[in-house]
Amino acid sequence: MVEQGRDRRHAVRALAGVSLAAALAPALLAGCAGTPPADTAAGAIRQTLDRRAAAVLAGDENAYLAQLAPGAPTRAGELRLFRNLADVPLDSWEYRLGDVDRRGDTAVAAAELRYRISGHDTAPVTAARTLELVRRDGRWYVTADRAAKGAPEQLWQQGDVQVVRGERSLVLAVGQDTARLTALAAGADRAVPAVSDAWPERWAGRVVVLVPDSVEAMGALLGTRGAAYRGIAAVTTGTTGGSGAAPADRVIVNPVAYGALGESGQEAVLIHETAHVATRAHTSPATPMWLSEGFADWVAYRDTGRTAARTAPELRRAVRAGDLPAALPADADFAFGREADALARAYEGGWLACELIAERWGRDRLTGFYRAVGAGEHRESAVESAMSRVLGTTPAEFTAEWRAFLRDRLGG
């Protein structure tokens, strides 16, 4: 969008150097010769998508069928997608049409789907979609609606969506045991006040949890291969904010890894992911992952009485072996797909950094530091400035204190 606007301004400046008569002449001549009528396909396709969206929102199967091409081989599959959504409480559903590639009576359209879950989303979830359409008797019909290339799938593409409502949560799942989902909703309900007690800023106070039927399906919801998430219990999606507002988040649970955890482990996972939801509006590209992941773990483990040795076993092993980290974990250290022990050391190092701030400067300074970093524009300057203003230290001094903290807590 920025580049298009810049090109348009350049065109205006170029035109200013040409005589008015010369500039207007082509337009006048074109008017005399007769301008070809504009292709109305985009407008007609937009009307079809508007009717399709209204049918989904109303749960009107007949109206939905009326937008599907009669006799098309994809008709049954498209109807199945509509029925998969039947129990999902939708507050809004709309398509924003992008480029349309028309070839006679067929077209492929790019669109942005925007939808909100009733009672949970204050801003829409957005999803890039590719729609195929056909024109019959002067009207456009949908033949296929799929995720755009490289974009994540949506849960209803994976099967009939089960819905379990908690007091502060909504669990949407495919192929899961209802009792398990009810327990998950109860855990998410408990996570919300635990996070609110640790995070002073206002947030929605609600969480939406997605549970696909496999780790491969989890990967599809994240637009990647499931193998990268095989040992990850849950992931929170959403766009970072920094402006005080952020779009809707989803906590996506790996049914295998989460199910292998004990009760306390599952509770920690849900609090950790809910902390990401709560802090999203104050998390920006300036926020290092050691801070965002470390803070979420700090919220999950605070006041539990867990020792550092128990909570950070991999880092403890490294410290006792003489391998004390020289620097705080880098963003790359948190990449999914890394060796499990290296990934664990990164998370443990971030947690202990936040634990140090909470103990040395206090909990209010920790949350203030988080907000201050997220309000910055550039990573290094944001962290340096926040450390100076909120903690009265420098990155080098803080790193030295953190390393001493690791030796003290993990070296024995």
Sheet holding 169-173, edge to edge: 162-165, 169-173, 207-211, 250-253, 234-237
Share of the chain above pLDDT 70, in %: 88
Partners of 324 in the β-ladder: none
Q: What's the first-to-final CA gap in the chain, in angstroms? A: 57
**What integer pLDDT is reported at residue 239 of this predicted model?**
56
**DSSP state letters, 68-100:** BPTT-TTHHHHHHHHHHTTTS-EEEEEEEEEEE
Q: What mean pLDDT do residues 184-188 have?
A: 98
Domain boundaries, the chain: 41-149, 152-277, 284-412
**DSSP state letters, 1-56:** -HHHHHHHHHHHHHHHTS-HHHHHHHHHHHHHH-PPPPP-HHHHHHHHHHHHHHHH
Report the C-alpha gap between 211 and 303 in whole angstroms.
29
Per-residue pLDDT band for 90 (boundaries 50, 70, 90) equals very high
Report the C-alpha gap between 155 and 127 in whole angstroms.
12
Mean pLDDT of the chain: 88
Tell me the two tokens of residue 125.
């979830």
**What integer pLDDT is reported at residue 246 of this predicted model?**
47
Q: What mean pLDDT do residues 185-191 have?
A: 98
**What integer pLDDT is reported at residue 248 of this predicted model?**
73
**Residue 3 identity:** E
Per-residue pLDDT band for 40 (boundaries 50, 70, 90) equals confident
Partners of 107 in the β-ladder: 102, 133
Report the C-alpha gap between 362 and 404 in whole angstroms.
18
When mean pLDDT is compared across 36-40, 298-302, 359-363, the lowest value belongs to: 36-40
- Quick check: do 41-149 and 152-277 share a fold? no
Contact 152, 223 (CB under 8 A): yes
**What integer pLDDT is reported at residue 339 of this predicted model?**
87
Q: pLDDT tens digits for 324-359?
A: 999 999 999 998 877 889 999 999 999 999 999 999
Say if strands 139-147 and 250-253 run parallel, antiparallel, or are unpaired. Answer: unpaired
Q: pLDDT tens digits for 109-121?
A: 999 999 999 999 9
Per-residue pLDDT band for 92 (boundaries 50, 70, 90) equals very high
Q: Count the alpha carbons within 13 Å of 242 in the hemisphere toward its beta carbon.
A: 15
Residue whose C-alpha is closest to residue 375's, from 249, 247, 275, 244? 244
Q: pLDDT tens digits for 161-170?
A: 999 999 999 9
Q: pLDDT tens digits for 65-75?
A: 999 999 899 99
Pick the CATH number of 152-277 from 3.50.50.60, 3.40.50.300, 3.30.413.10, 3.30.2010.30: 3.30.2010.30
Report the C-alpha gap between 223 and 217 in whole angstroms.
10
The runs of H, that is alpha helices, within 331-378 are 340-360, 363-374
Tell me the two tokens of residue 178.
């209802």
Pick the CATH number of 41-149 from 3.40.710.10, 3.10.450.50, 3.30.300.30, 3.40.50.300: 3.10.450.50
